[in-house]
A and B are shown apart, each in its own frame.
Chain A
Amino acid sequence: MSKPVVVGAVLYDPKVSVIWDIIRDFFEQNGCPMDVVFYTNYEMQVEALVKGHVDIAWNSPLAWLDSQRLSNDGCRAIAMRDTDRDRVSHLVVKAEGPVKTVADLKGKTVALGAKDSPQATLIPLGLLKRHGLEPGRDFAEKRFDVLVGKHGDHIGGERDALACLEKGEAAACAMLDLNWQAWQKDGTADPRKYRVLATTDPFDHCVFTVKKDFPADAEKKWLKALFSMSYDNPKHRQMMDMEGLKAWKEGRTSGFGPLSEATKSLKYWDGK
């Protein structure tokens, strides 16, 4: 048997381990043995990738930037879900509220997710900065630091931010488009009560990351197994539904611009 490829993943909920069990079994059955190592946060996982303790890291977008930062641009993005591409975040306000434009947020409070959430904090803050609104100076941040270190994987922070808007303790809140869509459908966010004030530029989300020196043959074999998953195959569909995708795509780095810009303008990495 060939040496297993070691894949790192951050676990925010024990139930997520079930998905990884299924994925690991799938790779085994497709002749590409794989070991999965779970980490409690992305910081540990990025360090493990850079030090070579794992071959492939299932990285958040912020973890991708961190991997590049700590490896001197020594990483490659090799695969992502179709649903990781071209996401946007919304600033949501009360439909009948006083905030009509982004400029109206001056002097108000904006509810955000965890401090390391690309979609619910960093990229929306970047959008506000581009509109000339400086956090702390022009508006107050009300942050919901749920499971810091997991980069907003857990939706709890975004849900708390929405609740904060609902209670009138904030004039706007930030959320990923997928959550906005889902919460309108399930009644969490009544579409008659809320509206989108502004939307960020499209950005990419999670990505399988390797170091540049990851052996090409191992990568080729692993990607072949990954890309052999087909939504048309009922045996694969359950696994893909659980992971929230219809197709695996090649990795790309063109979608990390808004987050990169936000981390720079917010001086996110200073002191790290």
Chain B
Amino acid sequence: MDPLSWTVRVAASGPEAATSYVRRHKVETGDAVAFDVEAPRVSALEQVLSAIGADLVTGLLKRAKKRRLEIDSVEAVVEGTLGNPLVTLDVLGEEGDPGLRSVAVRVYVSTLHMPADIDPVWSETVTRSPLVATFRRAADLQLSIKVTP
């Protein structure tokens, strides 16, 4: 089988803005990293964190559905820390890795099923997630799940 690939087209629309054209969708992104809580756009880093969260919550919901497990809601809180953010700001004299050092994902599942029913679904979701597999190689990735009625 030829390897499948996915293509997005990204055009800069200013020093702090980019537009991604993805199939029939358009996504706006801001700077690489936002240090201002009032920054007008979602940063590239935040998009990456969103992506891993989306991968896990949709993956878990899809696999739960296959097993006919009813899930009321599933939500992830994803927190990433950079090695040295000052490097990306061109601070002279700063050294180190500007990349993601750690990513912590906490998934909250609301369901009447017992945690023991959800655990195998979660385990399968994590094992088969393309982004989890990728991030495990790139950063200190910590995953946890909390199941509540």
Contact = CB atoms under 8 A, between A and B. Distances in A.
A40 B92 contact: yes
B36 interface: yes
B13 to A, nearest CB: 18
A103 interface: no
Nearest to B88: A14
A39 B92 contact: yes
Given A11-B86, A14-B86, A38 B35 contact: no
A18 B34 CA distance: 9
Contacts of A15: 35-36
Contacts of B35: 14-15, 17-18
Interface in A36-77: 37-41, 44, 48
Interface string B13-35: 00000000000000000000101
B36 A38 contact: no
**Secondary structure call for the A interface:** mixed
B125 to A, nearest CB: 33
A48 B92 CA distance: 11
B113 to A, nearest CB: 43
A17 B88 CA distance: 11
A11 B36 contact: no
Contact of A14 (B89, B92, B93): B89
A29 to B, nearest CB: 16
B93 A17 contact: no
Given A11-B86, A14-B85, A40 B36 contact: no
A250 B28 CA distance: 44
Contacts of A18: 35-36
A217 to B, nearest CB: 28
Contacts of A48: 92
A6 to B, nearest CB: 12
A41 B36 contact: no
A249 B80 CA distance: 41
Nearest to B95: A40
B89 A40 contact: no
Contacts of A41: 93
A38 B90 contact: yes
Contacts of B8: none
A29 B36 CA distance: 21
B91 interface: yes
Nearest to A238: B38
Contacts of B91: 11, 38-40
B94 interface: yes
A134 to B, nearest CB: 34
Contacts of B86: 11, 14, 38, 40
Interface string B63-99: 0000000000000000000000110011111100000
A15 B92 CA distance: 16
Contacts of A11: 86, 89, 91
Contacts of A37: 92
Closest 8 CB pairs of A and B: A40-B93, A38-B91, A18-B36, A14-B85, A14-B35, A40-B94, A11-B91, A44-B93
Given A11-B86, A39-B91, 19 more contacts: A11-B89, A11-B91, A14-B33, A14-B85, A14-B89, A15-B35, A15-B36, A17-B35, A18-B36, A21-B36, A37-B92, A38-B86, A38-B90, A38-B91, A39-B93, A40-B93, A41-B93, A44-B93, A48-B92
Interface of B: 33, 35-36, 85-86, 89-94
20 contacts: A11-B86, A11-B89, A11-B91, A14-B35, A14-B85, A14-B89, A15-B35, A18-B36, A38-B86, A38-B89, A38-B90, A38-B91, A38-B92, A39-B91, A39-B93, A40-B86, A40-B93, A44-B92, A44-B93, A48-B92
